[in-house]
Structure 1
Amino acid sequence: MGLRQKIIDSDFYRQMVQRRATGPLRAYYDIPAADPDTPVRDVEFVALDLETTGLDPKQDEIVSIGLVIIRRLEVDFSSCQHLLVRPKKELSESSVIVHRIFDTDVEQAPDIEIALAHILPILAGRVLVAHHAPIELGFLGHACKRYFGASLQMPTVDTLVLALRDLHRQGQPMKAGALKLESLRHTHNLPPYRVHNALSDAIAASGLFLAQIAKRDPKGELELRRVLR
């Protein structure tokens, strides 16, 4: 299936999902998605990362959301947001070790329904940037379907997928760990960052994305569809 057909199918599916959406998700769908033929310099992106209690959206929960908006291919640091989310179950020791968020940190935090209502207006009309985006899309989609009647459909740039395309185009072998966010940032001469913090990871992904775009087209005239997952 060609990219254009994928876009057509995605638009049709978006329309089908919109009919079932309620509340803030319905308002999200009322704002048109970005035109895939738009030059990337004219597109607004939102880099987003989640910290979760595991990898299964059906069993695990979101405990923090970090995001930052990219305008005119520049990170708008004034838009940075970091939200803690109160899960329904107590946090396990294994998840606390990874993201260092404790039960006491989230006991006064909003639940996921309120957190979604806060971030959906920010996501509306923008393009998602994430590293290994199926995690973010899976958890956000599952939560939206549970609370607002439909899944979340959003045009997405996956920095991991862009890195894979680079490796395939250059004919380079894939080394162990080469596709990790911190490894790719090092490859692009970007500074280290604090891992397993949702906002820090979102900012790190935004920096990698901009480096990947600059490598493809420094003027930003590249059409959005050329970098969508």
Structure 2
Amino acid sequence: MLILPNTYKTFVCTLSMGFVQLSSGGKDSVYSMHRAMQQGVSFSEILTVVPRREDSYMFHYPNARWAELQARAMDLPHRFVHTEGVKERELEDLRDALASMDIDGVCSGAVKSSYQFDRIKALCDDLNLECISPLWQCDERALIHEAASVLDIVIVGVYAWGLGRDLLGRHIDEEFLAFLDVAHERYGVNYVGEGGEYETYVVDAPQFKKSIHIMDSSVVWERDSGYLSITSATLEDK
């Protein structure tokens, strides 16, 4: 048996299971997969839910289509699930996709969002699938520092007071982490951005056999928020 510990909960699964990683391409998805793999979990596929509306209740939007390139970097198959992004209906779209897959479990990057965690857990229970969330209830400040030390993370969306256009395209480094302390103190910005304050895309991780090079992108900005639209990216040897 395999035990995945975190701050408050323990998830148990067997080493022989093939898991699917729910991934938007962001740091929480990629880092949760890394943590699970450290404990011996094997993954058979990456699944990305792409909402047709930007304010999806469950799934992250900016550059989600580039999660496929991450799957290629890991030599894993990838599939998209397109949804209208309507509350609860998007879960049904995910359920239909999972029900059609030959898997034994699901791994999610939920950190503190009970809305996300509870619904994915209920969905998995309904399908008799194991559900693991290696980052669940982790200390958020410690988590972003840990993730930044392991992953190469690019900021691709900013949606909170105190986070400016100049952050788009920036890699998360020590300078940004220090800035995040200030933004958290002054404006209440969540350290991992789980409240939608900022979005990320991972260009390298330990499980990537190749790294990702963003070749071309453009900034989409409206009033006081916006995102980096990746238009071209490729894999590179490490």
Q: TM-score, normalised by structure 2?
A: 0.35
